[in-house]
Amino acid sequence: MNHSQTIAAVARKLRQFSGRDVREVYEALVEVWQEELVKPEGYIRIEGLGKLYVQQQTIRSTGVVRAQAAKQNKPAPALLTRHYFRFRPIKALRHTLVASRKQATEPDEDTHYE
């Protein structure tokens, strides 16, 4: 679901608000969340969904990075910063996801194979 689809879906559910109202709230929410996620220990706990957070790792640059830098006649950085964007769903969402995947892969009981 993209930005426009989200705005439209919320506006349909909350008919008392215009799409413009929903867009303003959505954009404010995204701005607040971005401010929180850039903090070193920042996270967002979304009721009914789970926890969203960013982990940072410093790693040594390897042969691939060094080869790319050499191609561009630039010195390769000794260390790189890698960001991992994590989402930890609540148990109920995990169970729902697992159940829906099982349902999608299991044949219907009405299906007969010969």
43, 92, 98, 108 from 95: Cα distances, Å: 23, 5, 5, 20
Tell me how far apart the alpha carbons of residues 10 and 27 are, in angstroms, rounded to a whole number.
Answer: 13
Tell me how far apart the alpha carbons of residues 50 and 38 are, in angstroms, rounded to a whole number.
Answer: 18
pLDDT value of position 45: 97
Residue 13, Cβ density class (10 Å: 0-12 exposed, 13-18 middle, ≥19 buried): exposed
pLDDT value of position 108: 61
Kindly report whether the global pTM for this prediction surpasses the value 0.85.
Answer: no
Please answer whether residues 34 and 18 qualify as being in contact, where contact means their C-beta atoms are separated by less than 8 angstroms: no
pLDDT value of position 114: 47
Tell me how far apart the alpha carbons of residues 78 and 20 are, in angstroms, rounded to a whole number.
Answer: 47
Tell me how far apart the alpha carbons of residues 48 and 94 are, in angstroms, rounded to a whole number.
Answer: 11
pLDDT value of position 68: 87
Tens of pLDDT, residue by residue, the chain (114 residues): 999 999 999 999 999 999 999 999 999 999 999 999 999 899 999 999 999 999 999 988 888 888 888 899 998 888 999 999 999 999 999 999 999 888 887 766 655 444
pLDDT value of position 109: 60
pLDDT value of position 111: 52
pLDDT value of position 105: 78
According to DSSP, the residues that pair with 54 across neighbouring strands are 85
